[in-house]
């Protein structure tokens, strides 16, 4: 007779503009079952909730048929534009629902399971604390470097949320070194105008205009991306290396200020731009130390996320039910 295998698990939902991915995640961060469906096929909120509930149920059934018994702690959702107190999604530009979407409450009613929902950057921070580089830490700042600079701040073991759940927009903190750069938010000098992918391309184009040296970054007709810059760094291109040095310098100077806010044990770098083969965390740490108040010097680590690519968002979401009060 087959002995039943028990799994203590949560359900992670990574709700994106194109795809909604769902996974059952166990206590070690393994994903014994996962699936996905097209977000855009469900422009009606109720239809989306029903499809999601059906998907979760189907994953439970697969595992039960494989002989598992499940102890499900809850469902965690990572999504853009979340009001974590109302547990709703509020007018995200890349999602089909323009009006307020109380997804947390609706999915709870549909599944009978507790549902936690958070902004993707905040979910990533909790995921890092549960399964990644911040395991065991109670104080750290996670910077997500991608099309923007997102952040999640964990202080005294709690994710800083703020009155409306909007705490930690560190990508829009302004610095004199970026004062000539206009941000998508309409202001000048935001950190992300230098350290997000568009900012790095901006720096590269400025550098390329000052020299006629050959560089793989000169692509007549092609649109330069942060990915191209990363690849050129690995290939040893001096222009790309200079772009990366400038990006690291900006991150180091910004982190010196952020450290003074919450006295973290570490800064964790995450996202498409934060690649250990291309970016030098030790350089960022040195710059941070040079600009830090003496009491913090030599005490704060700069680490890369250990959650890999596409799994990180799902693991982040899946960790939410474990940390909700
Ligand atoms: Zn801004």
CB 197 within 8 A of CB 146: yes
Strand, helix or coil at 117? strand
Question: What's the whole-model pTM score?
Answer: 0.85
The reply to whether 41 and 180 lie within a common domain is no
CATH number of the domain where residue 65 is located: 3.30.420.40
| Model confidence at 190: pLDDT above 90 | yes
The reply to whether 97 and 156 lie within a common domain is no
- Model pLDDT for residues 43-90, shown as the tens digit of each residue: 999 999 999 999 999 999 999 999 999 999 999 999 988 988 889 999
The reply to whether 158 and 259 lie within a common domain is yes
Average pLDDT score over the chain: 93
Range of the domain at 260: 138-305
- β-bridge mates for residue 144, sequence order: 150, 270
Kindly give the pairing relationship between strand 19-26 and strand 158-159: unpaired
Distance 325 CA to ligand 1 centre (A): 32
Distance 319 CA to ligand 1 centre (A): 29
The DSSP letter of residue 190 is B
Domain count, the chain: 2
Distance 186 CA to ligand 1 centre (A): 7
- CB neighbourhood size of 116 (10 A): 25
The reply to whether 59 and 204 lie within a common domain is no
The reply to whether 85 and 52 lie within a common domain is yes
Distance 306 CA to ligand 1 centre (A): 28
The reply to whether 148 and 247 lie within a common domain is yes
| Model confidence at 25: pLDDT above 80 | yes
Angle, CA 266 vertex, CA 180 and CA 160 arms, to 5°: 75
The reply to whether 10 and 126 lie within a common domain is yes
The reply to whether 203 and 292 lie within a common domain is yes
The reply to whether 156 and 299 lie within a common domain is yes
The reply to whether 77 and 98 lie within a common domain is yes
CB 89 within 8 A of CB 51: no
């Amino acid at each position: 007779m087959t002995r039943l295998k028990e799994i203590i698990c949560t359900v992670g939902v990574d709700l994106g503009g194109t795809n909604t991915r769902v996974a059952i995640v166990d206590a070690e961060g393994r994903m014994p079952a996962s699936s996905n469906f097209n977000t855009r096929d469900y422009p009606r909120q109720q239809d989306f909730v029903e499809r999601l509930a059906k998907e979760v149920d189907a994953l439970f059934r697969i595992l039960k048929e494989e002989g598992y018994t499940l102890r499900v702690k809850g469902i965690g959702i990572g999504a853009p534009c979340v009001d974590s107190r109302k547990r709703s999604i509020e007018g995200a530009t890349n999602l089909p629902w323009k009006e307020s979407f109380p997804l947390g409450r609706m999915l709870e009613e549909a599944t009978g399971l507790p549902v936690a929902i958070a902004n993707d950057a905040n979910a990533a921070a909790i995921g890092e604390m549960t399964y990644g580089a911040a395991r065991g830490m109670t104080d750290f700042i996670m910077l997500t470097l991608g099309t923007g600079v997102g952040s999640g701040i964990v202080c005294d073991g709690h994710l800083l949320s703020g009155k409306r759940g909007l705490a930690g927009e560190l990508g829009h903190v302004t610095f004199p070194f970026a004062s000539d750069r206009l941000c998508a938010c309409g202001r000048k000098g935001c950190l992300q105008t230098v350290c997000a992918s568009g900012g790095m391309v901006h720096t590269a184009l400025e550098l390329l205009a000052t020299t006629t040296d050959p560089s793989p970054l000169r692509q007549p007709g092609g649109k330069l991306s942060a990915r191209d810059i990363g690849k050129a760094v690995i290939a040893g291109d001096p222009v790309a290396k200079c772009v990366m040095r400038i990006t690291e310098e900006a991150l180091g100077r910004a982190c010196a200020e952020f450290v003074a806010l919450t006295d973290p044990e570490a800064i964790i770098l995450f996202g498409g731009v934060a690649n250990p083969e291309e970016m030098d965390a030790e350089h960022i740490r040195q710059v941070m130390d040079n600009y830090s108040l003496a009491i913090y010097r030599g005490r704060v680590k700069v680490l890369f996320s250990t959650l890999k690519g596409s799994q990180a968002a799902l693991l982040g979401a899946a960790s939410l039910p474990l940390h909700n009060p």
